[in-house]
Chains A and B, each alone.
Chain A
Amino acid sequence: MNGEPEVHEEFEARLKAYEGRPAAATGVGRDPVNEPMIRHWCEAMGDTNPAYTGPNAIAPPTMLQAWTMAGLSRRPERTAAYDELLGLLDESGHHAVVATDCEQEYLRPLRPGDEITFDSVIESVSERKTTKLGPGYFVTTRTDIRAGGELAGTHRFRILKYAPARRPKDPKDRKDPKDPKNRKDPKDRKAPEERRPRPVVNRDNAGFWEGVARHELLIQRCTGCGTLRFPWLPGCNSCGSLEWDTVEASGEGTVYSYVVMHHPPFPTFAPPYAVGLIELAEGVRIISNVVGVPYDKVRIGMPVRLEFRRYDEELVLPVFQGVTR
């Protein structure tokens, strides 16, 4: 099976034909609504609501589905129609399943002693959807739960039957999880491609990024001729001297130019966003972000002030707060 099932209208029409057909024949709750199950539920959920204890106790409404469950030893009473529908999806390559969401409506409280009956209907089958897991169909069932024959609530349950998307084949993506190198720090869950691009740090500019880590924006100064320079380089374009020290920027500057980025989109940058070319009071320029100002309010000549922002566990950047007058 190639995992990329074909879509055709005829197939979708066959799926749609199951809408309205029963998913479970008239079922009977295995136990009546009872105090021990309510007590276990409340303990597990940490729910101390007094309504669920004492002589006039009601069952927590969210237990609605619990009263219909088959338990470990019994298969649920699925209808042939529901089995056929799932079978059709399996055969067409949509063999994987994930529960996506559930909605419940409560019409009357359930109390200890209530005898539960229920039936379930295939409410809808979606068109083919593309999802991160892979292409598939959402199947929604609706279960009507009755107490003593009276409707007490409805439980809508949605699953996605899907054809799993192909996993990356690159061997470097199949790392041994036991290797400590590959154990992710829980604080660093984002994959590299989901983070801001890293600064490109080498021997010639490491001092700048060390300064940023201390919340200092350092400008190189040629000790031969005194010329300030940015970006960082090992020598001076004015006199060629390799001797230099640094001065810390005051943090005052203005927007010299800017771009509003629209396309293509990149992870962690939500377009539109503004990137500025900031001229520092000292006279050198640096690319940065203008923050605290809507992207469409950034202007050439706008005064800005340096601040340092942390973007993730590893990344602190010097950015510039727009100063509105």
Chain B
Amino acid sequence: MSLRGRDGLGGRAAITGIGATEFSKDSGRSELRLAVEAVHAALADAGLTPADVDGMVTFTMDTSPEITVAQAAGIGELSFFSRIHYGGGAACATVQQAALAIATGVADVVVCYRAFNERSGRRFGSGVRHREPSAEGAALGWALPFGLLTPASWVAMAAQRYLHTYGLTPEAFGHVAVVDRKYAATNPAAYFHGRPITLADHAASRWIAEPLRLLDCCQETDGGQALVVTSVERARDLPHPPAVIAAAAQGAGRAQEQMTSFYRDDLTGLPETAVVARQLWRTSGLAPADIDVGILYDHFTPFVLMQLEEFGFCAPGEAPDFVAKERLPLNTHGGQLGEAYLHGMNGVAEAVRQIRGTAVNPVPGAERVLVTAGTGVPTSGLVLTADPQGRTRSTTGPPLHL
């Protein structure tokens, strides 16, 4: 009944380790090696060893199987392994899988990872020209003969409708592009480090798939990111303050497709994100006003606006103004537009750093962070919070249901 009620997962598990490789345009090594390096870094950060791991989760799109990463990383027997489908929509769901396994005693320490050479290897932005005649292939197949072939173009179809419905111009997307690069400019790990942009830069950047410009599009990145999840109790004994998984949710809408949900409703929102939002608010007991930092999946700017609206931070059509006025610290690492495109996993790491107080752009007193995953696809989200037992400041929001 989790579409209608609070679930029992909130507050049971925590992210206790984060680790990544460098983010680059050409890693010079295999995707498997990137995965192993990220897993080692995350375990070291957690104060754990490969021998402690008994569960692994990744994306169906990842080319490095759980067993092979385990084999190369010095990890032994696994009692839990799982993969989530739907591209970047899997990001927060890997953590949900880990939390489910931990809450039910199926595993004690679960590593979630994603690693790829998305710039020097297979570039998603180069488009699709062929699909096998599976049900999944056929769904995308309706768009291919007509030349709608790229992720940017699939997002642009909804973005055009959003602008039309609310009487906006493509500048509406520029606010997201500018805010993300502002934070990236002060993040040494970011591609846009030292390079803030202006609305004029956004407006001058070339069209990719109108109404989307180059600066509306995320990075293409080589790299790996891993996260270590364990029980809140165990996390309290480890070096870093736990980032408690106060709520974790997946969501798919009615008549959901992967990037091509063109045949339902009015194309101005993200119904799958609404499913995630309802569940995160119900289980965490929090509301938009309680959130200190938002890490919203940003492969393309328009869907950041729609997410803010679906989560209830503002009314439909008002997100451009909400972002322009910086009413919520947003993508404080620079996001995937500014830092790196790690299929959303680098965003989860940033949420953990904000709660630890170790982010390069720290939001003072940040204790409640919303993180989301790939949009336009079946998606997922997390509310991460500081450990209520370790809290030093009094809270103004409603009590957490732990």
Contacts and interface: CB of A to CB of B under 8 A. Distances in A.
B160 interface: yes
B263 A230 contact: yes
Contact of B141 (A199, A273, A285, A317): A199
B206 interface: yes
A273 B209 CA distance: 10
Interface in A249-294: 256-264, 266, 269, 272-273, 275, 277, 284-289
Interface string B134-165: 11011111111111111001001110110010
A289 B146 CA distance: 6
A266 B129 contact: yes
Interface string B105-141: 0000000000000000000011111111111011111
B263 A200 contact: no
A303 to B, nearest CB: 16
Contacts of B143: 275, 287
Interface in A134-154: none
Contacts of A273: 147
A69 to B, nearest CB: 48
Contacts of A199: 141-142, 144-145
Contact of B207 (A205, A272, A288, A317): A272
Interface string B202-244: 0000111110000000000000000000000000000000000
B20 to A, nearest CB: 28
A262 B209 contact: yes
A289 B147 CA distance: 8
Interface residues of A, number: 38
A264 B132 CA distance: 22
A200 B145 CA distance: 9
Contacts of A202: 133-135, 137-138
B164 A257 contact: yes
Interface stretch (A78-86, A100-108, A190-198): A190-198
Nearest to A299: B164
B262 interface: yes
A273 B149 CA distance: 12
B149 A266 contact: yes
Interface string A16-41: 00000000000000000000000000
A207 to B, nearest CB: 12
Nearest to B255: A237
B254 interface: yes
B366 interface: no
B267 interface: yes
A300 interface: yes
Contact of A272 (B132, B145, B210): B210
A204 interface: yes
Contact of A261 (B140, B164, B209, B263): B209
A285 B158 CA distance: 13
A197 to B, nearest CB: 4
Contacts of B126: 264
A319 B146 CA distance: 9
A231 interface: yes
Contacts of B149: 197, 261, 266
A263 B135 contact: no
A275 B262 contact: no
B210 A197 contact: no
A257 B207 contact: no
Contacts of B146: 275, 287-289, 317, 319
Interface of A: 193, 196-202, 204-205, 230-231, 237, 256-264, 266, 269, 272-273, 275, 277, 284-289, 300, 315, 317, 319
7 contacts: A204-B135, A258-B157, A262-B206, A263-B207, A264-B125, A264-B127, A284-B263
Given A200-B131, A259-B153, 7 more contacts: A200-B141, A262-B210, A263-B207, A275-B153, A275-B157, A286-B142, A287-B148
- The 8 A-B residue pairs with the shortest CB-CB distance, nearest first, are A200-B141, A260-B210, A202-B133, A197-B144, A262-B207, A257-B161, A259-B156, A269-B147
Interface of B: 125-135, 137-150, 153, 156-158, 160-161, 164, 206-210, 254-255, 260, 262-263, 267
